Structure 1
């Protein structure tokens, strides 16, 4: 996750380079370090260095890294001729390289030559089954073609090898949610919470999924994860507070006559509703009356 300070630093350096007062290579290094997706600027600034013999020679071995970055940026910007020229330079320098072979397969993908790209990726994986980028490219390619079941299959195969990749778990969870496969999505969010227990978004989304699944046990667990989201955000997450109200209302309908549970639910509901109304009154007063009316409908 890029911080606000880091983003401001990148924007400032980008502006300096565009106005002739900054170092393009420093900018590219910062984008690389922060793993940002600014392909148009990488292409623009990268080509300005590569097209200047003096700047290019000053890079030393980093020249080949820049050719690779420019090739990928060009593909993302659909400047396929530029990508091809960069790949040709790398092919000449590193004949038979698997890394360059990966770029060749990515170019096939960018051209929409899906079958050829799949063949190329499969061949590369036979030589190196642990190439994370190729695994991810195959999943992305399947998704781009609308073959969601194949994308799920590829991501699951990838996660069998790289279980600690939280980005892959999140991608898989979002696909399952889009398909209304909530039980499978819940499993993904459980894995995310286990690996990164202090990320509020995972607690919140897991609670949303459990609430959607419904049933007393799921609602009670959802309520706990909405509560943990509130703890992790210092009580400032409106979505989690509203989730508490939804859960307590639904649980109240399922547990009528159980005095102890009704009392606990009622207290929690009241506290959450009060905090939610207070927050809306301060930050979004125009919608305060609408919120109050909604909460009255959920009153236990």
Structure 2
């Protein structure tokens, strides 16, 4: 995506149906989530009846936006048209489930998804709708169970591992959350977000040694990352408190000295805002 490309399409779409269609295509390709914009332009295109083969894709896109925004008339119209033209489509069956979700009819939505999975257990979208549905209805334990079932088959889906990790954090199960982030690191070993979150989870469960290793990895990837440096300094302090003999070793003292020096360098130029940090850094010197 080029800078300004999307904004230019939004402006053009106001005066041209061709540009409006291009905008909707662009939003699908780049996974841009703006349901109000989809409904605004998609509804006009559907009314124009000049979409040709693009009609069904736009109808589905408008349906999703309408379901999210609570525009029942457009939601029902799009689903009716899609059902009429694709009566045996599993994709349309999933849309029926989404319709029930938008009506908060969770039981009926679950029935639809379970029926799809009974005939096509590899349908990842039905699995993910079940997970989303449980989250929307506040059933965290059911969402966790559904994700674990999904991951038994699709164990390389890092997005779902992330979702499971966040749910475990939500319910306070930090050991399980750490395992999820560990899986994510396997799939993307250079993700700073994943490495740092994993390090923080390890620290939270008291595994200071492992936590320090991952904060060190993050600091190696980005030597001025404040989150990594603060984590590393804090781990050093926790380990020193736990083992006084370790505190006196040359290697340990050099690591803490280097960490604090980098933090001081990172805070240079912050002026008055850096003074509280400077005081804290002085207190952390071994």
TM-score by length of 2: 0.94
The answer to whether the 8 A contact 2:240-2:246 is kept is no
Who is 1:224 aligned against?
213
Question: For the residues of structure 2 that align with 1:21 and 1:99, how far apart are their CA atoms?
Answer: 27
Alpha-carbon distance change, 243 to 258 in structure 1, aligned in 2, over 3 angstroms:
closer
How many residues are paired up?
Answer: 286
Who is 1:31 aligned against?
27
Question: For the residues of structure 1 that align with 2:3 and 2:38, how far apart are their CA atoms?
Answer: 16
Question: For the residues of structure 2 that align with 1:121 and 1:7, how far apart are their CA atoms?
Answer: 39
The answer to whether the 8 A contact 1:248-1:266 is kept is no
Question: For the residues of structure 1 that align with 2:226 and 2:63, how far apart are their CA atoms?
Answer: 44
Shift of 1:18: 3.0
Shift of 1:155: 0.7
The answer to whether the 8 A contact 2:200-2:211 is kept is yes
The answer to whether the 8 A contact 1:193-1:203 is kept is yes
Who is 1:296 aligned against?
282
Question: For the residues of structure 1 that align with 2:2 and 2:171, how far apart are their CA atoms?
Answer: 36
Alpha-carbon distance change, 97 to 269 in structure 1, aligned in 2, over 3 angstroms:
same
Structure 1 gaps, min length 5: none
The answer to whether the 8 A contact 2:178-2:202 is kept is yes
TM-score by length of 1: 0.90
1:262-300 superposed Cα distances (whole Å, 9 cap, x missing partner): 322221122111211221223x33321111122233222
1:161-219 superposed Cα distances (whole Å, 9 cap, x missing partner): 111111101111111112221110111111100011111111111000001111xxx21
Who is 2:10 aligned against?
14
Structural RMSD (CA): 1.8
Shift of 1:122: 1.0
Structure 2 gaps, min length 5: none
